[in-house]
Chains A and B, each alone.
Chain A
Amino acid sequence: DIQMTQSPSSLSASLGDRVTITCRASQAISNYLAWYQQRPEKVPKLLIYGASTLQSGVPSRFSGSGSGTDFTLTISSLQPEDVATYYCQNYISAPLTFGGGTKVEIK
């Protein structure tokens, strides 16, 4: 089974900062990588699929990159509404594992 490892598990940054979250797969998954945002007490929301394709309606300050085993989610300028936990997910084949999550807070 493919394991997904996210880092860091939490971070605190200032408004306007550039924030980077990494996700590593235990074996190559090509670009079958999705990122989700879950705001406090809310339902998860798809941000990025195909490792780098922005889901419709997602602000352009979010971007994704990577292929194979190493992936990155970047928020170019952190906004108050970005306070959330972010999860990566492999969807190349079952089990469609999620990473452990990265909690983003405002400093």
Chain B
Amino acid sequence: EVQLLESGGGLVQPGGSLRLSCAASGFPFRNYAMSWVRQAPGKGLEWVSVIYSGDSNTHYADSVKGRFTISRDNSKNTLYLQINSLRAEDTAVYFCAKGMTTVTVALQSWGQGTLVTVSS
């Protein structure tokens, strides 16, 4: 069974940083594209970032480009999201999600999410 377990969220001041982690199990992690999606309170889904399998090519939403960095450690079956220069509008539940293949990013499985709150 696919399991994705996010951690690392919390309350942080504007301008601060956090590193989110997503521990994956139940599938060959290295063979799948992985993504982060966020959802602000009461709002819709917002795609944040993707990292592909193989060459670990990455892409970001314009709203986070230059501030967020996605990475993966295939030896630890773990996905990361380093988030810097946090703003109030980054307050959201952050989900990690598994793509369908190495490059296909229809998101087949989702974690429960970790809440990031940016406030002074």
- Please tell me if B13 contacts chain A, counting CB pairs below 8 Å: no
Across the interface, which residues of B come within 8 angstroms of A43, CB to CB? 95, 110-113
Interface check A68, CB cutoff 8 A:
no
Q: Please give, as numbers and ranges, the residues of chain A lying within 8 Å of B46 by CB-CB distance.
A: 98
Is residue A61 within 8 Å, beta carbon to beta carbon, of the partner chain?
no
Partner of A36, one of B45, B50, B59, B113: B45
Complex alpha-carbon distance, A36 and B50, angstroms: 18
Give the number of residues in A that approach B within 8 Å (Cβ atoms): 23
Considering the complex, give the chain A residue whose CB is closest to the CB of B111: A43
**Interface size bucket, B side?**
20 to 34
- Residues on the B chain within 8 Å of A101, using CB: 44-45
- Closest A residue to B65 by beta carbon equals A95
Min CB–CB distance B64 → chain A (angstroms)? 10
Interface assignment of B104: CB less than 8 Å from any CB of chain A:
yes
Q: Do A34 and B106 contact each other (CB < 8 Å), given the known contacts A1-B62, A43-B113, A95-B61?
A: yes
Contacts A95-B62, A96-B50 known; A46 to B45 CB distance under 8 Å? no
**Given the complex of chains A and B, what is the CA–CA distance between A95 and B47 in angstroms?**
8
**Which residues B47-72 have CB closer than 8 A to chain A?**
47, 50, 59-62
Q: A94 CA to B103 CA in the complex, in Å? A: 11
Bound together, the chains give a CA A50 to CA B101 distance in angstroms of 13
B45, A44: Cβ atoms under 8 Å?
yes
Known contacts A43-B113, A91-B106; A38/B45 CB under 8 A: yes
List the A side residues contacting B109 at CB < 8 Å. Answer: 46
The yes or no answer to B18 lying at the interface (CB within 8 A) is no
Cβ–Cβ contact B44 & A100, under 8 A: yes
Q: Please determine whether A98 and B45 come into contact, CB atoms closer than 8 angstroms.
A: yes
Whole-angstrom distance between the alpha carbons of A46 and B104 in the complex? Answer: 13
From residue 4 to 53 of chain A, which have CB atoms closer than 8 A to chain B? 34, 36, 38, 43-46, 49-50
**Interface residues, chain B, CB within 8 Å of chain A?**
35, 37, 44-47, 50, 59-62, 95, 97, 100, 104-113
Q: Given A38-B45, A43-B110, A95-B61, 11 more contacts at CB 8 Å?
A: A34-B106, A43-B95, A43-B111, A55-B108, A87-B45, A89-B106, A91-B105, A95-B60, A95-B62, A96-B50, A101-B44
